[in-house]
Structure 1
Amino acid sequence: MYRIGVDVGGTNTDAAILDVTAYDTPSRGVLASVKTSTTPNITTGVQDSIDQVIAKSGVQKNDVLSVTIGTTHFVNAVVEADARRLTKVAVVRLCGPFTKQIPPFSDFPADLKDIVNGGTYYVDGGLEIDCREIVPVDPMQVRETLAKIVSTGITTICLVGVFSPLDHAGLHEERCKNIMLEANPAVTIVCSHNIGTIGLLERENATILNASILAVARKTFRSFSKAMLNLGLRCPLYITQNDGTLTDVATASETPVKTFASGPTNSMIGAAFLAGLDKSRTANLETEDELSGKQILVVDVGGTTTDVCALLPSGFPRQAPNFVEVGGVRTAFSMPEVCSLGLGGGSRVHQDEKTGDVTVGPNSVGHFLTSQALVFGGDVMTSTDIVVASKKQILGDPKLASHILPEILTAARRRIKKMLEGVIDDMKVSSAPVTVLLVGGGSIIHMDDLENVAEVIRPPHHDGANAVGAAIAKVAGEIDVIEILHESDEKAAIARLSQAAIDAAVQRGALRESVKIVRIEKLPLAYVTDRSTRIIITAVGSLAPPNPSTSLNPLLAAVDSMAELDAEDETEAPKEAKSSTPSGSPVKPSLDIDIPTYRPTVRRHVWYLSEVDIEFIACGTGVLGTGGGGTSYYAMLHALDVLRRTGQGKMRVISLKALQDDDRVGFGSYYGAPSAMNEKISSGTEIQTAIDTLDRVLGNKGFNALLADEIGGGNGLAAFPVGSHYDRPVIDGDAMGRAYPTMEHSTLYIYGQPIVPCAIADGKGNVSVVMSAESNARVETMLRTTSIDLGLTTAVVACPLPGSAVKQLAIPNTVSQAWYLGRAIHMARKAKTSIMKAIFDVNPGKLLFSGKIVDLSRGIAGGYTIGKVLLSPLLADEKDEDSVASQSSATTATATDSFSHISIVFQNEYLYARRADAEGIEGEILCTVPDLISILDQDGEAVGSQDLKYGLKVHVIGMPAHPLWTSKQKALDVGGPKYFGLDMEWTSVGEYTIPRSVIDDFNSEEI
């Protein structure tokens, strides 16, 4: 009853063998572990490591239950944009008229796009958020599309159906796949519902990457299979995945993208197991209840880097929030949240000749440690030499490091200690002491006690934790659906879905009696009135032993059939993944410019937008989104695509003062729910359809300029492509100065201008016109009902207004405000200076708090997502230049030390910020709507309320609202706290000043 785990790294291949009947022993059943150099030929390297560990343990091969292998081989092909290992992929979207606003490959780096882009095709199909069909699949259209693809020489296809993950069988994608395979069995097809979850662009990107590495993945797994065949092993072969679970080799061959981060995850899982965290009682941790209240961090020290990950009470790593970039491509699938540091056993130690300062890393001798380090006869001082010279370990020849000066030893040890404390603090979520599980071959560099660390556990076989993690990896089943919940059936729905997750785990090979639910996450959807909630449930269990009454293992026949594999099937060893800036990133044009000297193009008071301007504005609209307004990222991709196709001249901005009183100003914004619009991406025609319809109804002949309904979030950029379509300018201003949840939250309508007649349209050409209503609130409910019926991916266009009214009632210069905010953030980020100082140099406001999210709750009321987030303060060592001021910014004479936290309530947008204690009991009010409250991550990117995650380190800022919101009670009645049911008065963070104008600052009278 033995299991073997193997982890194939760029430098070393580790292997371990465990006795599954001896997990309760001090060694946790580990009989033997070995570390060998990764060979140029993977087959040989894996074979040698398994052979050695079997020989070392004395186990008979027939008694081995399974072999599990983890590798980071495939991610390197993407990171390095290696054309030799990547295949061109055709993308077929099942979407009907939708999603064309953002084509596939839109955010791929240029070099990677050139390698893998095999064309884009749109066909009928796809689902609404409630699983209604957008349009049925058309078999003839599918066959015609396949013929076009094959005629270009492309044979690898990825199918991406709108909302396909919500349909358990991936009905449309699978039907389309079957039609294609019937017509041409030689093509290779990957369905997106097998790769990722909701969020079409990120799931599509991951599916493209998966399809592009299929050939090299299959070759690699054939090599692993051949190694087992050569060894005479006839047990099942499994592959570890990013989330710490395993899958069979056949499935992994079809979804290699799910193995990208398996190496670090194996180390985390192995460390938790070796330390006994899976047991109810251990020598170090008393009970499971105690474990759930502890902070457990795994610190994995290698030769070059230290990786730190927080463990959940389930024993699995905390997952990275939101999306993950792989090779510069934005993707969304389960990846552990890992903080890496350039510190390892091979880190170079250097003393500056002038200052005498001692540094450790980030450069490393890597796998040349045994030839270049002093104790091994080399001439490079490394952290390992510091350990040996400090008499903490005996390695090589200690005499060769005896000449290191005591002051260098002291300084280097102090530096190593400080670096470890820093990376550990980065992963903390509270000031509570931490238990550190120290693993990895380089873990000997830990020599001194660490501050705020309760204990450091170096478990047995710590240097082989990655292989142990592979050997004991479990099987998972996950359910990710959207349910319409009612008070009477929520518990029943959770129970039903939990059982489905358990059944899925068992079907994948888990022992039923071992399966437990480890995650239940409920995410209410915004802007819906039927309590639609996305529910994610994960069940995990131990791998069941093979059933002797059936075939020894499903892979055996496949392994035997590969006995004649020749040299062509050998795969080169993986190289260390490179960390580099994406080449030719289409979403980061500012990387190629000197930001301080960049000047936008403004001629005769008309601002002609460039790609860099769009990037800056998108960043700024995120800040002004105050937690809502939808994603600026998708809107930026759309605007960039239109700008590149139509040229710079048509996308332009004018100031409010350039309007004539009798000019007709048009409006238009996307309207629905971010949860729907990020999946069923707009067609790009919705606003134009609504504008044209309203013009026909009113008998208008176009308009002179466009004004954004809200500058916050995605709608802050929505007017630019529309203005380009009609060849009309966009006004430097908007009707909110921020983001708000409803149409009636507009200064234009609060002060008496009409919303109606207004039109709502979708991408299929459905249009509804509201001619009149009893109140602005009634207009909102009528539009919301229609939007839900149309699938929540819609656009609304309100009644055009005269220039005289817009000049008086719009918030001025907010496009410029977004630009200046975005430029400031990008400039500070690039120069590595204070982002908060850069923001407040260009915009009035206040840093309210810097901290970590330690509690988060969400619910639905009146169709809107409501919730509260609690942030704890940063520790002294965690504070950077941006957060030092937060203590004084959020503290007044009436505050007490017990109110050291901050709580923020949101209804899509952030409504107020209050001081609080560690239990969430609230005190002093710091800021309320209509003033702007924004949450920014460490890089200055805005964090929407839908993206709040436990453990995220953030800054909270407040910015004053325009007097149109605060000078009249009727405006406060709509935009202030009481409108949202809050029993508090408006609390401001300061005095409003009109934002600077890009047009005025950079105008040139030259043509």
Structure 2
Amino acid sequence: MAYRIGVDVGGTNTDAAILDLKALDEPGRGVLASWKATTTPDITSGVEAAIKEVLDQSKVEKSRILSVTIGTTHFINSLIEADARRLDRVAVFRLCGPFTRQIPPFSDFPLGLRGILDGGVHYLDGGLEMDGREIAPLNPQQIQEAAKSVVASGINAIALVGVFSPLDHHGIHEEECRRIILEAAPGLRVVCSHDIGPTGLLERENATILNAAILRTGEKVKHSFKRAMASLKLTCPLFLSQNDGTLIDVETAAKYPIKTFASGPTNSMTGAAFLAGLDNKRSISNDGDDTVEPQVLVVDIGGTTTDVCALLPSGFPRQAPGFVEIGGVRTAFSMPEVVSMGLGGGSKVEIEDDGKVRVGPGSVGHFLKKQAKIFGGSTLTATDVVVALGEAELGDASLVKDVPDQTISLARQEIKRKLERVIDQMKVSSAPVHVLLVGGGALLVKDGLEGVDKCIHPIHQGAANAVGAAIAKISGEVDTVEILEGKSEKDILDAACKRAIDQAIEKGASPDDVRIVEVNKMPLQYMSQVTVRIQVRAVGKLAIPDEPTPPPTPPLGEIPDYEEEGEGDEDEGEKVSVPNALEPTTKPSLHVDLETYRPDVRDGIWYVSEIDLELISTGCGVLGTGGGGPTHYEFLKGLHALRTGGQGKMRIISPKSLDDNAQVFFGSWYGSPSVINERLSSGNEIPSGIEASSRIVGKSIDAVLPDEIGGGNGLSSFPTGVHFDIPIVDGDAMGRAYPTMYHVTFSVYGHSLVPCVLTDARNNVNVVMSTDSPERLETMLRTSAIELGLSCAACSAPLPGSVVKEYGIPNSLSLTWYLGRAIHQARRRKTSYIDAIFAECAGKVLFSGKIVDVKRYLGGGYTMGSVIIAPLNNEERDAATASKHQAASTGRHMTIPFQNEYLYAALTDAQGSEESQEIVCTVPDLISILGQDGEAIGSQDLRYGLHVSVIALPAHPLWKSEKGIKVGGPEGFGFKIPVVEVDKKFTESRSVIDEFST
């Protein structure tokens, strides 16, 4: 016989459950006993008491316990609460050579949290290119000196981050550097980033910093749990549950506590699926068609909030795409995608002046039994509503007899509507939907929900989180980038799968049970050779030994214990609160009245503020039309330049003020976003290119103009202006984003882009002096960029002010500012951001709907593909912020092909077939997809389930000529389709300088 114990330590309650592994297929799902107790301040006694209770209830011999698994919120609470007692300062070691300096560590940390954690940065030789070449070899003496400097400053924790370290299967650079550090300073705690997250240096570094900051707390918690085991005389292995619902041994968890941050919600989700028996009957539909695989959503209704998560066929929660914010910090590691809303058993029911009934988000919380009407209180709650309807037996139903029937009925409808809306938001396909209801507030749902085929109340639902911990499996994961040239894709996938399986077995999974549950392939754009990112996950049940064995001894050389056994439960004293702990540093407009805010314009010059940069960043996203790269990194670079470059240096001038003979220079980022987001720039690339261009043509550097206003490149000129102390011209050379250099208006109208300079952070300078065509220039630049690592700056030939005024797009920086302000204001007012956008520029809503399919593939070095968007139903339209510009409903879908940027929009059937297409807009007009907060969604961020609006803005007239259409229209992208213009007339943007000039 073998048993497993699961424990979930929450902020309020500690739950425990014991399972018989031989009875998992029986109706009771093997749950022998469960227990819920109040979480104790010292953790240990609460865990110990909960385990003791389920052992006593089940009367199981301790020698037959296979494992104990604990899920805890202790680590994440340290960060969310910014508890300085539990957080340590962290020094960051970057193995980067000359790169990454333009965005220092902690750049996007909240103000107070940075004050607690920031231990400085050491830029060291090392790091890799994407193809595995060394940026620079490690310098042992340099590393030793940095380690000694850290010790001298009193810092004990280091976050070690090497460029492209996740691509190194063994983390050789980081591991060797770690070895050198510990030889020079044995007492330091060192966390290597390749153990924490995938590529995307800033987000991986942020997660590594957070992990390093709570290592001391990790050790304390580990000792607490181990002492509870010793006190109970349990000799079985001790595990903690991870964010993805799998196990990590307690020693490893103490090294990587960040991997347990989201274990609470994950335990509830996986426990609910198990208790409902979905692992035994994955294919069940409402009509008895066993060939249809239902999509399963877990709805966890508490006292204040409802959490909803979609389960994959593997039984694990769907993971959140992109970055995840923890305590206001952007991180990139595996976390379940959970949507929360303010609805729970304690939600307050309030009647509006117009007679409408609102349920939540206000709640009586854990005071339900004091404040709810059925318990003698004065507050009408959601629980009162279901009791009044006879759907639940709780409290004294006679105490709600005086509540009008209409109020009860309307409140019931509102509860259903809110649940149906959030459930629809989490759907992952058009397959039948089964909902698992868990949590104390699950009594709010008794009858059916619209769009849900089956509502399931699992047994032991109150212990779902502890059961989820008890049944957790062992996982092995591989996340790598592979070049397919000359290799078999099948062989590469097979090798990755084998590595994942071997990892799981090495961690303790049963070799007979391990299977691959997830394989993702993502082609990388602009690469010289066909390159894909491969993510593989294998999971298996914990192996059952023939005889119980004691926990393994931690290997030599691992992070040592930094306190004696017995110290883990020492009184930490009163919490040390930091008043501005989670105050964002990257949202300067947060506490500014945008209605009255005026940009600083003096004598015809716009002096850019942090608030202006934030608004411009949002506007650049809208004009990015799906491409141009994310704006976040360039926004951070601009903030850093503004904060360190002195007052009055970042400034914008009107193109009208340019002298005809003034020399206007260009500089933008060129290469693959996959590299640019990992091998961050040093900051000298664009200035070096402009200086080289100036020397070649023998012209002074009078001003700089953005190449493209869309996406991140729209912001790339700001640090350049600060560097040279020159103005940025209010305009650009595209009026949007486009994928190639020759998509600038100056090239379209016959002005040469050569000599064109390509530079990198190592002072490599490549010059194309002349070409026979603009297309040839692009080919030559692309070839050179490969040698430079696909992350460099391109600086085309300067042009005189007269040409810029004739063939540039004027006032486009102003337009981004106005668009950004409009979106931020609408967000605050809770009004339509679409109406706000169209108050600033001409445009039209093409479609509103929900993404139901995304396809991606490589073509010509670019990420190409298409997205299909389904229409919203009437209720969903009403739920969204109403817009007077809403597109008429036709019942059809919309498909949008993209080559980085969105190329055309067409009404289609549900499959997006070409035969059904009715094209409603094409390039060169601007097609943008906006999320529910008004922020633009790039083609790299499209995913199923997002509710979006598709808008079209008319392109500048320079693109509507025969020359402009040939390059920037459908023909320029290989489509044999006519140009379809949005039926709105282009209106030139207002000028911030003209409007706000003093």
Q: CA deviation at 1:340?
A: 0.9
- Over 3 Å counting, the alpha-carbon distance change for 1:454 and 1:175 in structure 2 is same
Provide the residue aligned with 1:347 in structure 2. 347
Q: Is the 8 A contact 2:833 2:934 kept in 1?
A: yes
Structure 2 counterpart of 1:145: 146
Q: 1:705-736, CA deviations, whole angstroms, 9 ceiling, x for partnerless residues?
A: 11111111111111111111111101111111
Change (3 A) 1:570 1:276: farther
Question: What residue in structure 2 maps to residue 185 of structure 1?
Answer: 186
* Contact 1:164/1:173 (<8 A) preserved: yes
For 1:592 and 1:409, locate their aligned partners in 2 and report how far apart those are by CA, in whole Å.
Answer: 39
Q: 1:442 is paired with a residue of what secondary structure?
A: helix
Find the aligned partners of 1:95 and 1:934 in 2 and give their Cα distance. 35
Q: Which residue of 2 aligns with 1:957?
A: 951
Q: Look up the equivalent residue of 1:425 and give its one-letter code.
A: D
2:368 aligned residue: 369
Match of 1:919 in 2: 911
TM-score using structure 2 length: 0.95
Residue 649 of structure 1 aligns to a residue whose secondary structure is coil
- Secondary structure of residue in 2 paired with 1:597: coil
Residue in 2 aligned with 1:38?
39
Match of 1:318 in 2: 318
Is the CA contact 1:200–1:678 (under 8 Å) kept in the aligned structure 2?
yes
Matching residue's letter, 2:755 = P
Aligned to 1:673: 672
**Do the aligned partners of residues 485 and 40 (structure 1) sit closer, same or farther apart at CA in structure 2, a change above 3 Å counting?**
same
- Tell me whether 1:936 sits opposite 2:930 in the alignment: yes
Amino acid at match of 1:773: T
Find the partner of 2:994 among 993, 997, 1000. Answer: 1000
C-alpha deviation, 1:649, in angstroms: 0.8
Equivalences for residues 800-949 of structure 1 within 5 A = 800-880=798-878, 889=887, 897=891, 900-922=892-914, 923-949=917-943
| CA positional deviation for 1:959 | 1.0
Q: After superposition, where does 1:534-549 map in structure 2 within 5 Å?
A: 534-546=533-545, 548=547
Query: In structure 1, what is the Cα distance between the partners aligned to 2:509 and 2:411?
Result: 48
SS at match of 2:4: strand
Q: Distance in 1 between matches of 2:406 and 2:624?
A: 52
Aligned partner of 2:212: which letter? A
SS in 2 for 1:595: coil
Letter in 2 for 1:21: K
Indicate conservation of the 8 Å contact 2:235/2:549, yes or no: no
How far off its partner does 1:582 sit?
Answer: 7.0
The answer to whether 1:267 aligns with 2:268 is: yes
On the 8 A contact 2:32/2:58 being kept in 1, the answer is yes
Cα separation, partners in 2 of 1:881 and 1:97, compared to 1, 3 Å:
same
- Report the alpha carbon displacement of residue 753 of structure 1 after superposing the two structures with TM: 0.6
Equivalences for residues 326-405 of structure 1 within 5 A: 326-351=326-351, 357-401=356-400, 404-405=403-404
Partner of 1:63: 64
Change (3 A) 1:581 1:276: farther
Equivalent residue letter for 1:411: L
Q: Secondary structure at the match of 1:774?
A: coil
- Superposition pairs for residues 738-777 of structure 1, below 5 Å? 738-777=736-775
Give the C-alpha shift of residue 348 in structure 1: 3.2
Output one character per residue of 1:874-927: Cα deviation in whole Å (capped at 9) or x when no partner. Answer: 233322576766996266xxxx64xx2111111111111111222222411121
Distance 2:649 2:780 in 1: 34
Mean Cα displacement is larger for which, 541-550 or 707-716? 541-550
2:18 equivalent in structure 1: 17
Q: How far 1:627 sits from its partner (Å)?
A: 1.2
Unaligned runs of 5+ in 1: none
**Partner residue in 1 for 2:788:** 790
- Partner of 2:678, secondary structure, is coil
**How many angstroms apart in 1 are the aligned matches of 2:805 and 2:687?**
24
Q: How far apart are 1:489 and its partner, in Å? A: 1.1
Structure 2 residue aligned with 1:428: 427
Q: Is the 8 A contact 1:546 1:553 kept in 2?
A: no
2:978 aligns with 985
Aligned equivalents of 2:885, 2:744: Cα separation in 1: 35
Rounded to whole Å, the distance in 2 between the matches of 1:747 and 1:274 is: 62
1:355 CA drift (Å)? 5.8
Q: Report sequence identity in percent.
A: 57
Q: Secondary structure at the match of 1:77?
A: helix
Hey, what does 1:733 align to over in structure 2? Answer: 731
Alpha-carbon separation, structure 2, partners of 1:547 and 1:798: 71
Summarize the alignment of residues 189-204 of structure 1 with structure 2, pairs less than 5 Å apart.
189-204=190-205
The one-letter amino acid paired with 2:346 is: G
Query: What is the CA-CA distance between 1:193 and the residue it aligns to?
Result: 0.9
Please state how far the C-alpha of 1:262 moved relative to its aligned partner: 1.1
Q: Secondary structure of 2:190's partner?
A: strand
Residue type of the alignment partner of 1:952 = L
CA shift in 2, pair 1:166/1:289, >3 Å: farther
User: Take 1:459 and 1:973, find their aligned partners in 2: how far apart are those partners?
Assistant: 61
Matches within 5 A, 1:225-304: 225-280=226-281, 290=291, 292=293, 294-304=294-304
* Cα distance in structure 2, aligned partners of 1:572 and 1:472: 33
**Separation in 1, partners of 2:569, 2:460:** 33
The residue aligned with 1:160 is 161
1:382/1:229 CA distance change after superposition, 3 Å: farther
For 1:198 and 1:646, locate their aligned partners in 2 and report how far apart those are by CA, in whole Å: 30
Quote how far apart the aligned CAs of 1:304 are: 1.8
Cα distance change on mapping 1:788 and 1:287 into 2, 3 Å: farther
Aligned-partner Cα distance in 2 for 1:286–1:506 = 40
Seen in structure 2, the aligned counterparts of structure 1 residues 340 and 268 have a Cα distance that, compared at 3 Å, is same
Task: Provide the C-alpha distance between the structure 1 equivalents of 2:192 and 2:522, rounded to a whole number of angstroms.
Answer: 25
Letter of the 2:133 partner, please give it.
R
CA deviations over 1:434-466 (Å, ceiling 9, x no partner): 211111122112134322221100011112111
Deviation by residue 1:799-826 (Cα, 9 ceiling, x = unmatched): 1111111111111111011111111111
Compute the displacement of 1:100 (Å): 0.2
Q: Could you list the per-position Cα deviations for residues 103-153 of structure 1 after superposition, in whole angstroms to 9, with x for gaps in the alignment?
A: 001011111110111111101011111111000110000001111111111
Q: Distance in 2 between the 1:431 and 1:489 partners?
A: 34
Partner of 1:594: 593
Q: 1:566 to 1:574 in 2, by over 3 A?
A: same
Matched to 1:179, the amino acid is: I
Cα distance 1:728–1:226, how it changes in 2: closer, same or farther (>3 A)?
same
Counterparts of 1:461-860 in structure 2 under 5 Å?
Answer: 461-486=460-485, 489-546=488-545, 548=547, 551=550, 553-554=552-553, 565-566=565-566, 569-570=569-570, 583-700=582-699, 702-860=700-858
Q: Root-mean-square deviation (CA), in Å?
A: 2.6
Counterpart contact for 2:628–2:710, Cα < 8 Å: yes
User: Is the alpha carbon distance of 1:728 and 1:888 closer, same or farther for their aligned partners in structure 2, counting shifts above 3 Å?
Assistant: closer
**Pair 1:50 & 2:51 matched:** yes
Contact 1:482–1:533, Cα closer than 8 Å, also in 2:
yes
Deviations 1:185-214 (A, max 9, x none): 111111111111111001111111111111
Cα distance in 1 between the residues matched to 2:159 and 2:213: 9
Structure 1 equivalent of residue 118 of structure 2: 117
Aligned to 1:106: 107
Q: How many residues align?
A: 990
AA aligned to 2:868 is: L
Q: Distance in 2 between matches of 1:290 and 1:270?
A: 25
Deviations 1:146-168 (A, max 9, x none): 11111111111110110111111
Rounded to whole Å, the distance in 1 between the matches of 2:410 and 2:959 is 57
1:991 shift after superposition: 2.0
Length-normalised TM-score, structure 1: 0.94
Taking structure 1 as reference, are residues 665 and 827 closer, same or farther at Cα in structure 2, changes over 3 Å only? same
Unmatched tracts of structure 2, length 5 or more: none
Kept in 2, the 8 Å contact 1:849–1:887? The answer is: no
Q: Secondary structure at the match of 1:153?
A: coil
CA contact 1:126–1:161 (8 Å) conserved in 2: yes
